Amino acid sequence: MLDIYLPMNKEVSLELIDKVMLLKTARYTISYPLMMGAITGLTDRESPQSHEYMQLLSQFGDAVGISFQIMDDIQGLYGDELVL
């Protein structure tokens, strides 16, 4: 919904853009799948190390997802359609 709302709004904050990238791409495409895979492989899901591991996976996935979305947006704006 935010992804649809964003282009219609004349005043958009960087925080809103970051939130869209985080929710649209980072969490849905990268972070949550990584965490789901880790959950299925963890032997002791309740240990403090497991929780720390999940937080690290989430941070990593968020960073990779946001980076991917930024590059995708740049390619969408400036890329050659025949090459893409």
From first to last of its 84 residues, the chain has per-residue pLDDT tens of 777 877 787 788 888 888 888 988 899 999 999 999 988 887 776 787 888 889 999 999 999 999 999 998 899 889 888 877
Structural domain count, the chain: 1
> Which residues neighbour 83 within 8 Å (Cβ) at sequence distance 6 or greater?
none
Cα angle vertex 4, ends 62, 18, to 5°? 30
Evaluate whether residue 72 is within a structural domain: yes
Evaluate whether residue 18 is within a structural domain: yes
pLDDT given at position 35:
92
What would the DSSP string read from start to end of 9-46? -SS--HHHHHHHHIIIIIIIIIIHHHHHHHHHH-S-TT
Query: What is the domain range of residue 54?
Result: 2-78
Evaluate whether residue 84 is within a structural domain: no
> Which residues neighbour 65 within 8 Å (Cβ) at sequence distance 6 or greater?
21, 22, 25, 26, 27, 29, 30, 31
Evaluate whether residue 26 is within a structural domain: yes
Evaluate whether residue 58 is within a structural domain: yes
Give the length of the chain.
Answer: 84
Evaluate whether residue 23 is within a structural domain: yes
The pTM assigned to this predicted structure is 0.78
Evaluate whether residue 83 is within a structural domain: no
